[in-house]
Amino acid sequence: MNQRQLFLRHLAQTSPAPLALEIVKAEGSRIRDIGGKEYIDLISGISVCNIGHRHPRVLAAINKQLEQYLHLMVYGELIETPQVAYAKYLCDHLPPSLNSVYFTNSGAEATEGAMKLAKRCTGRTQIIAFNKSYHGSTQGALSIIGDEYWRNAFRPLLPDILHLEYNSLSDLSNIGEKTACVIAETLQAERGVIIPTKEWMQELRQKCNNTGALLVLDEIQAGFGRTGTLWGFEQWDMIPDIVLLGKALGGGMPLGAFISDIKLMRTLTENPVLGHITTFGGHPVSCAAGLAGMKVIIEENLMNGVEGKEKLFRELLHHPKIKAFRAMGLLMSLEFESFEENKSVIDKCIAGGVLTDWFLFAPQCMRIAPPLNISEDDIRKSCAIIIDSIS
């Protein structure tokens, strides 16, 4: 069997039509397949590679950690310097009330941890989330994602979940004194980049304050400079009680986190003790890589270029078949008439050397979320290929 056949035979498949490109190398904004063909990566492994692939500073940090230790012990028992250093660096770049970090392996696990923390802190059970929001695919996270098609086959799910309409001021009146937490994305990525109003976000914060519900913001796609500020919530001038991180958090390695105030987080140490357990969460190599990656974003000022690059994409991506262009920094969505039209453009883009895809809840929209340090030249080349593919 060739690699493709082995892939289809032995790797559990969840997609009827995987891209199945065989990749041998990735560097910066470029990915190369086994035939030597290069692709400009316009999706960054779904908002993971914000600093591009295999950044030298990340590779150096990984290599250094490899010389010291890999897994030592389950989470939270031994002092592992990479975890401590990264937690401190994250807290130094977050508002003072977000000062205690629980590292997980993934975004979904961060969601799970935050839901447990909110129940534990408030003694309440109701969790409110929003239609067409995505927070992960484990049972708890799946219970709160906002689309019945994706949930239904896996019922029964968590009880006491309420879904509201995102960006609807009137729906916020459903937040009440039984609500443990409200979980919202800073912007809805998988709906095809839906940006809430500042008024709605601030009202959401106010409503949580008034009712004692905790506000959990999912920054798993929006964080780490993608929207032009380090954290998406900075754009709304408000601060969540718990923030969820993942994807770019690990600099290309698997890592997630939920971050809150130490007073809230302490509830996980008693009754029961070990209120949240993970063997591998905060793996030292992932933390070393993630810290190096976050330093690249900050020290190399990658956020400064985001606005200009978004503008360039906007200027270059004009075509009568593009129904809408929505963007917040370098999280962009090109809307077509239908999934079929979008898929045909995506297939042509890939054949032309541009890697892109669609959004989970918006199959008619093309995802454009390149590394933040993509060059202007690669933006121009990829936009020309997209326009050619549409035509």
Q: Can you give 241-300 as a three-state secondary structure string? A: CEEEECHHHHECECCEEEEECHHHHHHHHCCCCCCCCCCCCCCHHHHHHHHHHHHHHHHC
Q: Output 76 or 113, the one with its CB closest to ligand PLP.
A: 113
Residue 157 near residue 253 (C-beta atoms within 8 A): no
Is residue 288 close enough to count as binding ligand PLP by CB under 6 A? no
The contact mask relative to ligand PLP for 93-132 (x = CB under 6 A, - = no) is -------------xxx--x---------------------
Does an H or E element contain 368, and which? strand 362-368
d(CA 211, CA 126): 12
Sole window of 26-34, 67-75, 133-141, 233-241 interacting with ligand PLP (rule: CB under 6 A): 133-141
Q: How far is the CB of 27 from ligand PLP (least distance, A)?
A: 23
Q: Which of 135, 205, 207, 283: binder of ligand PLP (CB under 6 A)?
A: 135
Residue 328 interacting with ligand PLP (CB under 6 A): no
Footprint of ligand PLP on residues 187-216 (CB under 6 A)? 189
Q: How far apart are CA 319 and CA 316, in angstroms?
A: 9
Is residue 136 a contact residue for ligand PLP (CB under 6 A)?
yes
Q: Which of 239, 234, 237, 240 is nearest to 199 (CA)?
A: 237
- Closer residue to ligand PLP, CB minimum distance, 82 or 256: 256
Q: Identify residues 215-274 at the interface with ligand PLP (CB under 6 A).
A: 218, 220-221, 246, 256
The number of beta carbons lying within 10 Å of the beta carbon of residue 284 is 20
Choice from 75, 134, 258, 325 touching ligand PLP (CB under 6 A): 134
Rule CB under 6 A: is residue 140 a binding residue for ligand PLP? no
Other CB atoms closer than 10 Å to residue 60's CB: what's the count? 13
User: Interface with ligand PLP by CB under 6 A: which residues?
Assistant: 46, 106-108, 111, 134-136, 185, 189, 218, 220-221, 246, 256
